[in-house]
């Protein structure tokens, strides 16, 4: 069975965003059973774990002698096993792969720049002056995605792994109103996250966090 290694707990601002959620979602869409293994911060620094995940992060995917890290590569692996996430024709599969890369390489870095300014560096002197430029660049990237979605439900002719990753990236902006201000993107994220597979994946992640929450 597939083993997915993730965190036992995350602080509230990160709950629902930890990247094992993307893999859980893909597995739920594909109908592939999996088991969860939890790794504490200390365990993730051990050489045995670093041999699986060189950066000491999550998730880690293990199945049939294959060990993968990086959520994008794992979602790709799952998509290759499921027509629900990737069409079988080579051209269609290539387009899905392009949107997967677009989500992670063209959009997510711009999103994470804003997260750094707003959440991790908000008390620094440079954060506030830098924010307008970060937002402007991000909105340019999001505008390109919104243009693609005009008149479409999904990035291609149906839901795919590209949408799964793009919607996952857009959800990171939940601490802002940026997505809500773009109707095409707002409707798109709502459409994707209304899928039963996403709801099951989110519930599974949150259940782990609730069971391992530190005492108050």
Taking alpha carbons only, the member of 174, 170, 133 closest to residue 149 is 170
SS3 67: strand
Architecture field, domain 2-84+197-211: 3-Layer(aba) Sandwich (3.40)
Mean pLDDT within 159-179: 98
| Residue ranges covered by each domain of the chain | 2-84+197-211, 90-195
pLDDT, tens digit (0-9, with 9 covering 90-100), for 44-79: 999 999 999 999 999 999 999 999 999 999 999 999
What is the structure's pLDDT at 52? 98
CB-CB contact of 7 with 20 (8 Å): yes
CA distances from residue 115 to 23, 146, 167 in whole angstroms, order as listed:
22, 20, 16
Query: What is the reported pTM?
Result: 0.97
Residue 128: both structure tokens together: 């506030």
Q: How confident is the model at residue 127 (pLDDT cuts 50, 70, 90)?
A: very high
Distances 16 to 19, 85, 134, 198 between C-alpha atoms, Å = 9, 21, 24, 11
pLDDT at residue 216, as a whole number: 82
Can you name the residues that pair with 196 across neighbouring β-strands?
none
Q: Note the pLDDT of residue 28.
A: 98
Answer yes or no: is pLDDT of 121 > 90: yes
Cα distance between the two ends of the chain: 36
Distance of alpha carbon 122 from alpha carbon 20, whole angstroms: 26
CA torsion, ordered 99, 20, 206, 190, to nearest 10 deg: 0
Q: Is 11 strand, coil or helix? A: coil
What six digits make up the tokens of 20?
């094992």
CA 142 from chain center: how many Å?
A: 16
User: Is it the case that residue 17 has pLDDT exceeding 90?
Assistant: yes
pLDDT at 100 over 90: yes
CATH architecture, domain 90-195: Up-down Bundle (1.20)
Question: What share of the chain has pLDDT > 70, as a percent?
Answer: 100
pLDDT digits (tens, 9 = 90+) for 170-214: 999 999 999 999 999 999 999 999 999 999 999 999 999 999 999
**pLDDT value of residue 82:** 97
């Amino acid at each position: 069975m597939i083993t997915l290694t993730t965190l036992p707990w995350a602080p509230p601002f990160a709950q629902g965003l930890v990247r094992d959620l993307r893999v859980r979602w893909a597995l739920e869409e594909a109908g592939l059973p999996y088991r969860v293994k939890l790794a504490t911060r200390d365990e993730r620094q051990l050489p045995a774990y670093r041999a699986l995940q060189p950066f000491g992060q999550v998730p880690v995917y293990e199945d049939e002698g294959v060990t993968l890290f990086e959520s994008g590569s794992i979602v790709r692996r799952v998509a290759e096993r499921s027509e629900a996430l990737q069409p079988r024709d080579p051209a269609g599969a290539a387009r899905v792969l392009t949107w997967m890369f677009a989500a992670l390489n063209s959009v997510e870095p711009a999103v994470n720049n804003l997260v750094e300014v707003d959440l991790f560096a908000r008390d620094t002197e440079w954060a506030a002056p830098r924010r307008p430029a970060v937002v402007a660049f991000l909105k340019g990237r999001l505008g390109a995605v919104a243009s693609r979605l005009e008149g479409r439900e999904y990035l291609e002719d149906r839901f795919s792994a590209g949408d799964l990753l793009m919607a996952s990236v857009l959800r990171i902006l939940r601490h802002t109103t940026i997505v809500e201000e773009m109707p095409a993107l707002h409707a798109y994220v709502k459409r994707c996250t209304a899928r039963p597979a996403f709801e099951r994946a989110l519930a599974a992640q949150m259940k782990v966090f609730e069971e391992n929450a530190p005492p108050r």
